[in-house]
A = this chain, B = another copy of it.
Amino acid sequence: MTHPTIYHIPVCPFCQRLDILLTLKSRRDEVDFQLIDITHPRPDWLLHKTRGTTALPILETADGHIIKESLVILQYLEDIYPERPVAQRDPWRHAVENMLTRMDGEFFSQGYTWLMNQDPALREALREGMLKQYAQLNDFLLEHAPSGPFLFEDFGWAETVFTPFFERFWFLEYYENFVLPDEPRYARVRAWVEACIGHPAAQQTTREEVVKLYYDYSKGAGNGALLPGRSKSSMAFEPDWRDRPWPPKNKYEHSATDAELGL
């Protein structure tokens, strides 16, 4: 039997979820990962597989079926590799992690909206919105897992879903000077974030890679789109991000050239 194949984008948080889950299950080598360069139009063979949609990741099963949506793919992987379960099996515990997981959409949106914001007048409201998101997570964790650091005994389903966002939000620290205030109301979520980011199964990316690749997002250009005056996206595969300089942090005052970004 051939393996499932995952078509993914480097540094995409939804793709990293799958990588984390497979790592937790020690099944990383049983799935073929194929990188897609989003700075070029999707190839026809890929659009044929997806019937025209462009969102990634997708998973192609061993017998050629296509599954879309990271949470649906996570569940599929959990189902076909039931050993070392990552999701909780007890109904109430499963409900708790599902409630937390459903908070992912707003959390993600708030962080990416702030990163992509170009109006300095909105920064303070965006910071407040982000803090509100962290406060909601803090409250949830205090209610259901006061001692922590994880929601249950180990890094599990909710951590698999959220950790890629915690790692992406390094871009807010760099481009927006956002750090979670050292206040009691964020103490529980801070402990969760730190335990998640430090877990061995969640080391697929680094602060440096995130900051360099997301430069164009910080200037409002998502999904590999080209900014005015530029010939290359910061999401490009080449040159390797390790060989590029750190981007300028002053996104509201300056637009970096290809050369300044080492592209």
**Residues of A with Cβ closer than 8 Å to B?**
51, 61, 65, 67-69, 71-73, 75-76, 79-80, 91-92, 94-95, 98-99, 102, 139, 143
Extra inter-chain contacts (10) besides given A69-B102, A72-B99, A72-B102, CB under 8 Å = A51-B143, A61-B92, A65-B95, A67-B99, A71-B102, A75-B94, A75-B95, A76-B91, A76-B92, A76-B94
What is the bound-complex CA distance between A67 and B140, given in angstroms? 12
Say yes or no: A98 contacts B80, CB within 8 Å. Answer: no
Contact residues in B for A139 (Cβ distance below 8 Å): 51
Q: Check if A91 sits within 8 Å of B80, measured CB to CB.
A: yes
A72/B98 contact (C-beta < 8 A), A61-B92, A65-B92 known: yes
**A241 and B5 alpha carbons, distance in the complex (Å):** 54
Contacting residues, chain B, for A61 (C-beta < 8 A): 92
Assess the A69–B98 pair: CB atoms within 8 A. Answer: yes
A68 and B99 within 8 A (CB): yes
CB distance from A73 to the nearest CB of B (A): 8
Distance A76 CA – B80 CA, assembled complex (angstroms): 21
Which residue of chain B has its CB nearest to the CB of A59?
Answer: B95
CA of A102 to CA of B73, assembled, Å: 12
> Which residues on B sit within 8 Å (CB–CB) of A75?
94-95, 98
Closest beta carbon of chain B to A194's beta carbon, Å? 25
Closest 5 CB pairs of A and B: A79-B91, A72-B98, A76-B95, A67-B95, A80-B91
Contact of A72 among B65, B79, B95, B143 (CB under 8 A): B95
* A76 CB contacts on chain B under 8 angstroms: 91-92, 94-95
CB-based nearest B residue for A78: B91
Q: Within 8 Å CB of A80, what residues of B?
A: 91
Interface centre among A75, A94, A95 (most CB of B within 10 A): A95
Q: How far is the CA of A67 from the CA of B61 in the complex (A)?
A: 33
* Bound-state Cα–Cα, A95 to B79, Å: 10
CB of A64 to closest CB in B, whole Å? 11
Cα A68 to Cα B136 with chains together (Å)? 14
With a cutoff of 8 Å between Cβ atoms, the chain B residues found around residue A72 in the complex are 95, 98-99, 102
Closest residue to A73 on the B side, CB-wise? B95
* 18 interchain pairs, CB-CB under 8 A: A61-B92, A65-B95, A67-B99, A68-B99, A69-B102, A71-B98, A72-B98, A72-B99, A72-B102, A73-B95, A75-B95, A75-B98, A76-B91, A76-B92, A76-B94, A76-B95, A79-B94, A80-B91
